[in-house]
Structure 1
Amino acid sequence: MPAAARVDSWLWAVRMFKSRSGAAKACSGGLVEVDGQKAKPATTISVGSTVTARVGDRLRVLEVTGVIVKRVGAPEAQRCYLDHSPPPPPREFVAPAGVRDRGAGRPTKRERREIDRIRGR
């Protein structure tokens, strides 16, 4: 294992981003911090660093426990960090609107308007 690595490469290797270019764009866009400082893609990290990244709609706070530069399997990648992220927000349950019985045919104009009203259109 190397002693240090680029933050964009490490984020990709531990499967936080699907591509290294996606991780680099997140760094360039100011969505990644290393030890409290905004990180450029080439910022180096080492064991003990804290990486904070906004991945999708979640904030991920990761403590580096292993430095890797090549993408590895998910179980091995999870051993390279400790996740201190806040829990994800609860998903809102959305009841299926306008579910029709199979073979019931097309909805009438009135039924379609009710479906649109329920869906908020």
Structure 2
Amino acid sequence: MQDKIRLDKWLWAARFFKTRSSAAKAIDAGHVHCDGQRAKCAMAPKIGDMLKIQAPHGTFEVQITQLAAQRGSAEFARTLYQETPESMVRRERDLFAQKMQPHFDHPDIKGRPTKKWRRQLNQATDYLEE
């Protein structure tokens, strides 16, 4: 473990992003904030900093508890931060809302619809227009 590391490297080591470059892109896009301020890739995080991270798998509010420059196991990654209870509740609520949304994809169709499936779609839209 090191005293000074880059924020993008820490986010990668904490397994919020699959690659360091995707962590850097998220930081550049403004998806990571440190103590309420927009973060930069080369910023050196400190123990106790509060991060707000918008990752592909959810929005997290975490407090840094350890610094690490190398990516380890998932169990080790969880020791690098502590998520706030409000963040956990919000993520669970968002996941539940996402599961409850209607899903309109047909399970048998991958790519363009077949002629039979297109006929069924047309029949359904004709029925809705009546």
Whether TM exceeds 0.5 here: the answer is: yes
1:98–1:82 CA distance, 2 compared to 1 (3 A):
closer
Percent identity among equivalent residues?
A: 29
Answering whether residue 91 of structure 2 is matched by residue 87 of structure 1, we say: yes
1:1-12 pair list within 5 angstroms: 1-12=1-12
The AA in structure 2 aligned to 1:65 is T
Q: In structure 1, what is the equivalent of residue 111 of structure 2?
A: none
TM-score between both structures, scaled by the size of structure 1: 0.76
Gaps of 5+ in 1: 100-105
Answering whether residue 120 of structure 2 is matched by residue 111 of structure 1, we say: yes
Higher mean displacement: 67-76 or 87-96: 87-96
Task: State whether residues 14 and 80 of structure 2, in contact with CA within 8 Å, keep that contact through their aligned partners in structure 1.
Answer: yes
The AA in structure 1 aligned to 2:122 is R
Q: Which runs of 4+ in 1 moved over 6 A?
A: none
TM-score between both structures, scaled by the size of structure 2: 0.72
Task: State whether residues 62 and 81 of structure 2, in contact with CA within 8 Å, keep that contact through their aligned partners in structure 1.
Answer: yes
Deviations 1:31-82 (CA, angstroms, capped at 9, x unpaired): 1111111111001111111111111263211111111010101111011111
Q: In structure 1, what is the equivalent of residue 46 of structure 2?
A: 46
Q: 3-state DSSP class of the match of 1:8?
A: helix
- State how far apart, in whole Å, the 2-side matches of 1:68 and 1:31 are: 21
Aligned pair count reads: 113
1:37–1:64 CA distance, 2 compared to 1 (3 A):
same
Structure (1/2) with the larger helix percentage = 2
Gaps of 5+ in 2: 109-114, 126-130
Q: In structure 1, what is the equivalent of residue 25 of structure 2?
A: 25
Q: Displacement of 1:27 after TM fit?
A: 1.2
Q: What's the RMSD between the two structures over aligned residues?
A: 2.8
